[in-house]
Structure 1
Amino acid sequence: MTLKNRISLLVSLLFTILFGLASTLIFVLYSNFRKEEFRDRLQIKALSNIKLLVNVKEVDDQLLKMIDQNSINKLYDEKTLVFDSHFKLIYSSIDDAKINWSIDDLKYLKKNKTFFKQQGDYEVYGVFYDTKDKDFYALISATDDYGKRKLLFLRYTLIISYIFFTCICWVLTSFMVKKAMSPLNTFHQKIKKINENNLDTRIASKSNKNEIDLIANEFNFMMDRIEISYQKQKEFTAHASHELRTPLSRITSQIENTIEDSATSIKGKSFLKTILSDVNQLTELINSLLILSKIDNKNHENYEVQRMDEILFSAIENLNKSFPDFVILFEMEENENLDTALEIKGNKNLLEIAISNVLKNACVYSDNKQAIVKISIENNDLIISISNIGKTLTDNEQKNLFQPFMRGENSKGTAGFGLGLRIVNRILTLHNAKIIYSVPFENTNLFQLIFHSN
């Protein structure tokens, strides 16, 4: 799970839990408040009835009417019972509701003055009232339909509000966290694209107070140090390669002159030719290292439009000089967009080096001294395919094919250093292109140079 999803989940869960607890607390508090408020109403009504009995000396129909009507707020299903000090019922309201009571309830009233309890749907309140002459006990019950309707309304309101605002919270939290984390997404995308060809990539920052900006500043500082170190390494490789070329050139010249000298014995010439071969390989290695050190994407603004077919023909012509017995079969796919696709913006010398290295690779590792070069277009991308018949690479070798100094099992007995395809890959990366190796058929090696359309 990503960081932004974890933050969204945690914030949403926290809100959901807190809102649920708050809603529950509100409902419980209001439920208790309703009971207390209804108990107070029952108490007022019970005391009013007792006071009427105390103040009116005779109990008659007139008194009953006065008791029934002695309430500002009429209660639902109200029932009132009044007892004298001998637990004799002296008044019962005229409704049909019933109150379950016992002598023990009245004795409990005398001792504790009041009680309040639930009997089914009814709530019963009892009160003890004493005067100088006699004592009175009153029991009154009713249903709080009005209060319960409000409580039911509150319950549904809280449930609906909880569901609605929880959903809103999850959506808004996800949106806000995604927006807040967008700089990290930009950060991540830029980091993914960093390689040895674009070490000058930097992350834009607005201030030093934001944690993301602080990370961006430290990242930029780290990239500065990496770029400086990498440039120093490349400069050292370039300088060392350049300095080594001069003495190697002199050694090569001296060996060649000695071989041509008639005074040199046949055995000495054979020995010198072996040394010359080793010196030429060393020179080739140094030239490859020098090319790698000079490849730099900082000059891509100066690239010009090149015709890839012309570069390909030039590379084939140069290859024929070194390998005159090697045959190259050329194919070109007919396509109305071919002329446009063949125009690639880049460095002519580097592109020719890349194609030459692939052609040389096809020549060296071919079993029949033959290769097929085909130019085609796929999804507006220019594809130069170079295939030959020969021993193919294993899956494990293919994974490291473009790493420096990598040589497969098929290279045994063949001169080389494993830098040619590395150079090709670096050059094509600078030109927004790529190289792919595959084995379409048995004993068939296929290299595809894919140049993406601009």
Structure 2
Amino acid sequence: MLIRNKLTLRFTVLVVGIQLFFSIFIYYFNSVYRQQEFYSRLQGKARLAARLLIKRNLLSINEKHLLAKGDLSTLSDERISIFSSDKKLIFTNGDSLHAQSHAFFIDKLKPDFPFTYTSDRFELAGIVYTYNEKYYFVFASGYDQSGFSKLENMAMILLLGNLVVLVFIIFAGWYFASESLAPISDVVQQVDSITASRLDLRVNEGNGEDEIAKLAITFNRMLDRVQQAFESQRSFVSHASHELRTPLTNALGTLETSLIYDKELTVAKTSMASAIEELNNIIELTNGLLSLTKADATFSSLTPIRLDECILDALSLIYSKYKTREIIISFPESIPADSEPFLVEANMQLLRTAFVNILDNACKYSTQAVGLTLEKKDNSTFLVTVTDQGIGIEKEQVDKVFLPLYRATNSRNFPGFGIGLAVTKKIIDLFKGTISIDSNSDEGTIVTVEIPAAPFSDNSL
């Protein structure tokens, strides 16, 4: 069901429910008021009959015509019955059988407390009347023809009114639902016009404050991320194609030239060595792309590992590659007995790869000593800082170095493909950590990694 139809239905049900409740409320209290008013008239009739018949001592005459009037005070099917203190019927203007039925209620009468009773639509009121120190039980009953007629007319008016108003409520609900959803329809139409070739288009954000505007803002933020992802993918494919095509072309050209022109074994070996070097570059680039793909994948086997041991493993690999490079290491001198060791939830192989990439960049772009610091930032975070005094990075290019196959302008004379930091960031993100770079050209680089600490237990090690 369309949202517009749902809103219309809910609006109709809600308003009709309120209207029916209000109609029932009016009808009920009018019915109560009619009954109370008719009881009051019956009690008045009973007092009038008592004063007229008892005070004037006309009970023995028993002339019914004394109460048979045709004015507005006369009730429909009016019956008056008077009983003496010993519960004997001494007057009635109706049949004796009807009068005897009143006798059942004599015991319920009390002085100053009128009694009322309803049977079907006939209603009765009884009073105790005192005259010359004698008690008389006076009953008046009748049918409120006028009151019930007015009540039935009111019920008919309310019913017809509700039916007519129901039609207006349905149309009003449909109109207001359509008007309320119109901005969403506009957003949908604008989103439909956005294609892969027109990712620069954005949804109108309206006043920027209401719920529709917040929805449009959310769409635009999502489109910003989608556009960024498309541009990153396009840039990645372009750079990957270029990086793969260049060494393949060089290797193919070298081998073809060697096949045609190289006649001596020494010259042929030189050409083959050049082709092998290009092929090794291709293998290195391919391995980097595979590492990037692996870092993109969801890795579920996370276990508590020692961060300090992971860093030491990475350092051993760096020492084997940069045998003469000095790396100044700063670890905490001791760990309190009641404190946890450097435990993090991660995968040893991936996290070691991340630190190898960071340290490799620091050693590659700097000829001076590299600094590495491990410390506990707070009770839930470890901080790893790698510092070098190398060529640095232009300030406006710092955020771009995490893009796959992107290389800073001043680093293109150094070997590499621009994959290491992209892989590193994805690995750190996978372990819910953060990585940041603070650098300026020719002023060195500071890489900071923050990793959440794992819960400590004695059996974690």
TM-score, normalisation: structure 1 = 0.50
Shift of 1:227: 1.7
The separation in 2 between residues aligned to 1:126 and 1:165, in whole angstroms, is: 44
Structure 1 pair 95–249 and aligned structure 2 pair: CA distance change class (3 A)? same
Aligned to 2:75: 75
Structure 1 SS opposite 2:184: helix
Shift of 1:60: 8.0
Structure 1 pair 122–58 and aligned structure 2 pair: CA distance change class (3 A)? closer
Structure 1 pair 174–264 and aligned structure 2 pair: CA distance change class (3 A)? farther
The separation in 1 between residues aligned to 2:214 and 2:165, in whole angstroms, is: 35
CA deviation map 1:261-312 (0-9, x unaligned) = 49599xx9xxx9xx9xxx9xx9xxxxxxxxxxxxxxxxxxxxxxxxxxxxxx
Shift of 1:100: 4.4
Shift of 1:202: 1.1
Q: Aligned ranges for residues 39-58 of structure 1 at < 5 Å?
A: 39-58=39-58
Asked if the contact 1:77–1:95 (Cα under 8 Å) also holds between the matched residues in 2, the reply is: no
Structure 1 pair 79–181 and aligned structure 2 pair: CA distance change class (3 A)? same
Q: Aligned ranges for residues 88-167 of structure 1 at < 5 Å?
A: 88-93=88-93, 98-101=98-101, 103-110=103-110, 113-167=113-167
Shift of 1:210: 0.7
Percent identical among aligned pairs is 24
Give the aligned residue type for 1:144. D
Aligned to 1:188: 188
Structure 1 SS opposite 2:101: coil
CA deviation map 1:124-148 (0-9, x unaligned) = 2211111234222211111111111
Aligned to 1:205: 205
Alignment RMSD (CA, Å) = 4.0
Asked if the contact 1:43–1:125 (Cα under 8 Å) also holds between the matched residues in 2, the reply is: yes
Pick which of 170-179 and 148-157 moved more: 170-179
Asked if the contact 2:62–2:91 (Cα under 8 Å) also holds between the matched residues in 1, the reply is: no
Shift of 1:176: 1.5
Asked if the contact 1:27–1:154 (Cα under 8 Å) also holds between the matched residues in 2, the reply is: yes
Aligned to 1:177: 177
Shift of 1:26: 2.4
Shift of 1:180: 0.7
Structure 1 SS opposite 2:26: helix
Aligned to 2:234: 234
Structure 1 SS opposite 2:138: strand
Q: Aligned ranges for residues 242-261 of structure 1 at < 5 Å?
A: 242=242, 253-261=253-261
Structure 1 SS opposite 2:73: coil
Asked if the contact 2:81–2:102 (Cα under 8 Å) also holds between the matched residues in 1, the reply is: no
Shift of 1:63: 7.0
Segments of 5+ residues of structure 1 without an aligned counterpart are: 283-454
Shift of 1:122: 1.8
Aligned to 1:326: none
Aligned to 2:223: 223
Segments of 5+ residues of structure 2 without an aligned counterpart are: 283-461
Pick which of 3-12 and 200-209 moved more: 3-12
Q: Aligned ranges for residues 286-297 of structure 1 at < 5 Å?
A: none
Shift of 1:104: 4.3
Structure 2 SS opposite 1:69: coil
Asked if the contact 2:187–2:204 (Cα under 8 Å) also holds between the matched residues in 1, the reply is: no
The separation in 2 between residues aligned to 1:60 and 1:70, in whole angstroms, is: 24
Asked if the contact 2:111–2:127 (Cα under 8 Å) also holds between the matched residues in 1, the reply is: no
Asked if the contact 1:78–1:97 (Cα under 8 Å) also holds between the matched residues in 2, the reply is: no
The separation in 1 between residues aligned to 2:33 and 2:211, in whole angstroms, is: 49
Structure 1 pair 256–85 and aligned structure 2 pair: CA distance change class (3 A)? same
The separation in 2 between residues aligned to 1:100 and 1:63, in whole angstroms, is: 18
Shift of 1:204: 0.5
The separation in 1 between residues aligned to 2:113 and 2:232, in whole angstroms, is: 98
Structure 1 SS opposite 2:54: helix
Structure 1 pair 233–59 and aligned structure 2 pair: CA distance change class (3 A)? closer
TM-score, normalisation: structure 2 = 0.50
Shift of 1:15: 2.7
Aligned to 2:335: none
Shift of 1:153: 1.7
Give the aligned residue type for 1:11. F
Structure 1 pair 100–152 and aligned structure 2 pair: CA distance change class (3 A)? farther
2:27 is the counterpart of 1:27: yes
Asked if the contact 1:48–1:70 (Cα under 8 Å) also holds between the matched residues in 2, the reply is: no
Shift of 1:248: 5.3
Structure 1 pair 192–206 and aligned structure 2 pair: CA distance change class (3 A)? closer
Structure 1 SS opposite 2:109: helix
Asked if the contact 1:45–1:71 (Cα under 8 Å) also holds between the matched residues in 2, the reply is: no
The separation in 2 between residues aligned to 1:132 and 1:49, in whole angstroms, is: 16
